[in-house]
Amino acid sequence: MRFLSDKILKWIVFILAVLAVYFLATAFYIPVKAIIAQNLLHSAWQSTLAGDTSVKPWPWADTWPVARLRVPTLNIDQIVLDGDQGSSLAFGPGQRVHSVNDKSSGLTMISAHRDTHFKFLQYVKLGHRIELQNEFGDVNTYQIEDMQIIDSEVMGIRAPEQGQWLTLVTCYPFNVLDSNGPLRYVVFAEQIKPCASESCQS
Amino acid sequence: MLHQNNDIEKNTFVNKKENDLLKVILDVIQHVLILITFLMFFSFVQVAMAAAEDNQNALLLYSTGSNESRSAAMVRTDVDMRVSGMINHTLLTQVFKNSRDEWVEGIYQFTLPESVVVDTLRIQMGERVIYSEIKSNARALTQYQNAKKTGKRTALLEQHRANIFSSKIANIAPGEEVRIEISFQYLVKYEQGEFKLRFPMAMLPRYLLGVTVSEWADFDPSILNGLNENQLANTIRLRYPVTGSDKPVPVSLHIELDAGFPLVELDSRYHAIHKTNHGSGRYSIRFKSGIVLSKRDFELFWRPEPGQRPRTSVFHEKLGDEHYYFAMLYPPQPELSDQTLLNKEVVYVIDTSGSMAGVSIRQARDAMLTALDDLDPEDFFNIITFNTQTHSLFKQSRPASVLNVARARQFIALTNARGGTEMLPALKKALAYNESDARLRQIIYLTDGAVVNEQEVFELLRKNIQQNRLFTIGIGPSPNSYFLHNAARIGRGTYTYISNINEVSMRLGKFLKKINRPVLQNIKIEHLSGKAEVVPQNIPDLYAYEPVVFSMKANEPVGVVNIVGYRADEQWSRRLQLTDSNNGFGVAKYWARQKIKAYLDASTDMNKTKKLEKSITAIALKHKIMSPYTSLVVVDKSLTGNPSKRIYSHPIPARLTSMQNMQVKTGQVIPLLAKTATDTQLKFIVGLVSLLLAVLVRIFLRRRYQNREWL
């Protein structure tokens, strides 16, 4: 490095320091955002339960809370957002609801990042209960029936023939650097008691 | 001038002050970084150490997507045996734990007792129990791979040799305990009036390559050649756990023994046992200490009461409309003992080519000398050696008189190994003459090398074997097992493989001693009433202290059979009553296994393989046992049990890459579109690396300043 003048070296130090600050800051920003957003979402959820619809948690938000997800055995309590596009997933798990054959059965699919909200999926076990509260305040309990690893480029989930199903989806494997892999970890849970509202009684 | 100097001094002072501040900050960062590096290194070492410890047992785990393997610790083994007569039905339970924080695939190889029939595999993972189904090899493999790819729990059990198995278990959850239950049956050994039940406690995985397994002689060798590149590669990987598997695993044992007759003695050779007598030959047996940590094979032995020594023992099992029998007849004393041996002629054909030089030929010589001492003076014998040329001791076989044996000893002592391998003339010579028709002619053929003109030799054997018995012995790392095995089949003898050339003298000596004592030949079962199918069709010659063992399938209950054989030139026969047989567990499976073996034995012709495969597959599938063409595959029952629950994963139809409509129909496939990972970790690491580099360059810069100050 003798050929590099002090000046150039000083610049290199400066650039590297800036890069370090940038990357570390953004690296911390994602989980911090995920945590803070959940806190804001909880208050938006309260007003949703009070009767408001599509309550935006902050003025410029392009999504709103639609459900509250709880896994009692793992102390998980999260507010689920509408839609599973990237802009929702930064703040919370995103939900898509499919009704099958005119609501005779249904599939609720909730996706979230493996390194923030759905990090806990790696610890769930068969038989664990998942509680999902909808916008009307009804709490539906689901029981985990299976866990599968699915290659999302070639495989999908078949619409169920019977029953109300909940799938929790996140990336797999859990602790790798590659964030674009095709594998998904899918938890399948079936509703174990009929919900109170008329809309889902069939 | 002075003023200017002052100014410069002031500037450097300011610079110095700035530098000090930066220095303090950098020092702090430096210490933090060192601490982080140290912690990372420490945790890495811990993980590596844990991995090294885990390698002790035989379940290899492959994490999805990587070839790196670590093993799950075997927690314990439970052995549950039910013995009826000579059939031992065993349920082996092994408990493993996946101690990694990843989902893994387990690949596990193990040894079972020889001539084992495996019929069930059951795997319990977490709270789920899955059972095996018997499928043809290809189907089982496809099913396993499909299930594995879609993340379903699945397991596959394959048979590589008569007693070597491998099982694969896909998608084991982190921290999950896996119970592997394998049920199988095998025959208890009978030697010198004593029954012996052996069980490999260490379950040491044995290698597939190099064929170190000796007693697979009763199995089709074509599966040996059938290994494809993948299987071979797997095999090499399977060798890996052997190095670490020297830690004994806790084993619990429970045996329900129904000997079929009262016993005078029942004990374990190497382990202390506790036994409960239930009367008339029925016992319960456990380890005295409950659980045993042992690397030594378990060996249980029992003896029938000598006074009322039962001559026969018959077991019966009804399967649908079919009746299966398993029968054994002990050599009646003194009618068929080693006092009344058949007259025989033994021709030893020994390979003395260059490859036998050294230990091999020395060991072969030792074994031959022992065998010669053991010959009856009335027996005839001859020795033929071959390399590039063929030499024989006598022109014609001669009696084993003191003089002739002495000449033989001299001949053996002068035998040296050199030159090529020309086996055909030697075999021709051994088969050529037939002067002593009343004698049982045994040809013992020992080699360590390759055989070039296989088909020619088979042809020669088929034409000239007649009543000769050919016993082949392959030694060392590379005998042509395929040839030797089939040659022995045609010659109605056996093939013995001895991999370790240091064991040649001991094992060959033992073998030669055994075949020196034939008591009965050309044994047949004549069934007087009803139609029945007996296996094996050609019952092997009987040697002293061996029982006649056969099994039979019939469409209606069989009353009585006649066992007929020849001693010297006189006929010998015995009636066997089947009506008062005991109920035997696994009798039908034993019959199926023997039937499969009979099919394999009957086919030296390679063209028939398709038909052969079909016949064997049909029997194996019917009786739900493993064979060269069938594997056990475990499928997740909960998926097939209730069709309403089938919402699981499914291939996406072509071009379905977006999902607009939230109203779907049953069976429609919903793709997983959400991107569910962030690059947090990547950014964090890039950030840390940049920081580290910045600090390093900064330190370098400071060093440079310091050096200049010194100058």
B127 contacts on A by Cβ (under 8 Å) = 125-127
- Please say whether the beta carbons of B144 and B151 come within 8 A: no
Q: What token pair was written down for B593?
A: 């296994």
B130 and B122 in contact (C-beta within 8 Å)? yes
What distance, in Å, lies between the first and last C-alpha atoms of chain A? 76
Contacting residues of A for B663, CB less than 8 Å apart: 98-99, 102
Q: Do B667 and A158 touch (CB under 8 A)?
A: yes
What is the predicted pLDDT for the residue at A130?
Answer: 93
Whether B357 has its CB under 8 Å from any CB of chain A: the answer is no
Query: Domain coordinates of chain A in residue numbers?
Result: 30-200
B334 vs B448: CA distance, rounded Å: 40
User: In the prediction, which pLDDT does B406 show?
Assistant: 93
Tokens matching residue A36: 């803070």
Most confident segment among A180-194, B19-33, B388-402, B537-551? B388-402
CA distance A175 to B327: 60
CB distance B678–A116 less than 8 Å?
yes
Using the Cβ of B694 and the Cβ atoms of chain A, whether some distance falls under 8 Å is answered with: yes
Tell me which chain A residues have a C-beta less than 8 angstroms from the C-beta of B665.
100-101, 159
Is B171 at the interface with chain A, CB within 8 A? yes
> In B459-511, where do the E strands start and end?
469-475, 495-498
Q: Which residue has the higher pLDDT, A87 or B553?
A: B553
Q: How far is B89 from chain A (nearest CA, A)?
A: 33
Chain B residues touching A10 at Cβ < 8 A = 701
Quick: pLDDT tens for A96-132.
Answer: 887 776 667 788 889 999 888 999 998 888 888 999 9
B103 touches chain A (CB under 8 A): yes
Which of B65-69, B201-205, B263-267, B436-440 is predicted most confidently? B263-267
Q: Which of B267, B324, B285 is nearest to B81 (CA)?
A: B285
Query: Which tens digits make up the pLDDT trace of B532-542?
Result: 888 887 788 88
Determine the CATH number of domain A30-200.
2.40.260.10
**B64 at the A interface (CB within 8 A)?**
yes
Average pLDDT for chain B: 73
Nearest Cα residue to B173 out of A146, A158, A129 = A146
Q: How many residues does chain A have?
A: 202
Distances in whole angstroms, Cα of residue B273 to Cα of each of B80, B268, B276 = 14, 7, 10
> How close B646 gets to chain A, by Cα (Å)?
7
Phi, psi of A85 (to 5 degrees): -75, 165
Predicted-complex ipTM score: 0.81
Q: Is B666 on the interface with A (CB under 8 A)?
A: yes
The residue with greater pLDDT, B703 or B37, is: B703
Per-residue confidence (pLDDT) for residue B20, from 0 to 100: 66
Is the Cβ pair B687, A22 closer than 8 Å? yes
3-state SS class at B237: helix
Count the Cβ atoms, other than its own, within 10 Å of residue A27. 21
CA–CA dist B513, B515 (Å, integer): 6
User: pLDDT, tens digit, for every residue of B416-431?
Assistant: 888 877 888 888 888 8
C-alpha distance from residue B109 to each of A75, B120, B249 (Å)? 41, 16, 16
> Are A80 and A65 spatial neighbours (Cβ–Cβ below 8 Å)?
yes
Interface test with B, best of A102, A128, A157, A188 (most B CBs within 10 A): A157
Tokens of B508: 């060959």
- Min CA distance, A49 vs chain B (Å)? 24
A-chain residue closest to B153, CA distance: A148
Token pair 């900050």 in the structure block, residue = B25
Query: Helix or strand or coil: residue B669?
Result: strand
**Which of the residues A66, A103, A152 would you substitute to probe the B interface, choosing the one with the greatest number of B C-beta atoms within 10 Å?**
A152
Q: Can you tell me the distance from the alpha carbon of B580 to that of B634, in angstroms, rounded to the nearest whole number?
A: 39
Cβ–Cβ < 8 Å for B179, B124: yes
- pLDDT given for residue B49 in this prediction: 40
Q: How far is A53 from chain B (nearest CA, A)?
A: 20
Task: Compute CA distances B269 → B85, B196, B272, B458, B567, whole Å.
Answer: 20, 10, 8, 44, 35
pLDDT band at B487 (very low <50, low <70, confident <90, very high): confident
- Name the most confidently modeled range: B82-91, B236-245, B576-585: B82-91
The reported pLDDT for the residue numbered B691 is 92
Angstroms from A92 CA to nearest CA on chain B: 11
Which residue in B has a C-alpha nearest to residue A185's C-alpha? B151
Closest to B621 in 3D by CA, of B610, B639, B633 = B633
Confidence bin at A69 (pLDDT 50/70/90): very high
Instruction: Give which of B424, B436, B489, B484 is closest to B462, Cα–Cα.
Output: B489
pLDDT in tens, A124-168: 888 889 999 988 888 889 988 887 777 777 667 777 777 788 989
Q: Residues B593-622: what's their mean pLDDT? A: 78
SS3 content of chain A, % helix, strand, coil (to 5): 30, 35, 35
For residues B380 and B476, the answer to whether their CB atoms sit within 8 Å is no
Residues B658-685 pLDDT 10s: 444 466 666 667 777 778 888 888 888 9
Instruction: Say yes or no to pLDDT of A173 above 60.
Output: yes
In this predicted structure, the answer to whether residue B230 has a pLDDT above a threshold of 80 is no
Measured CA to CA, the distance from residue B387 to residue B140 in angstroms comes to: 47
More confident of the two residues B689 and B478 = B689
Contact check, Cβ <8 Å, A159/B663: no
Please give the pLDDT value at position B326.
87
Chain B 633-662, residues with CB within 8 Å of chain A CB atoms: 638, 643-652, 656, 659, 662
From the list A25, A179, A188, which residue is nearest B677 (CB)? A179
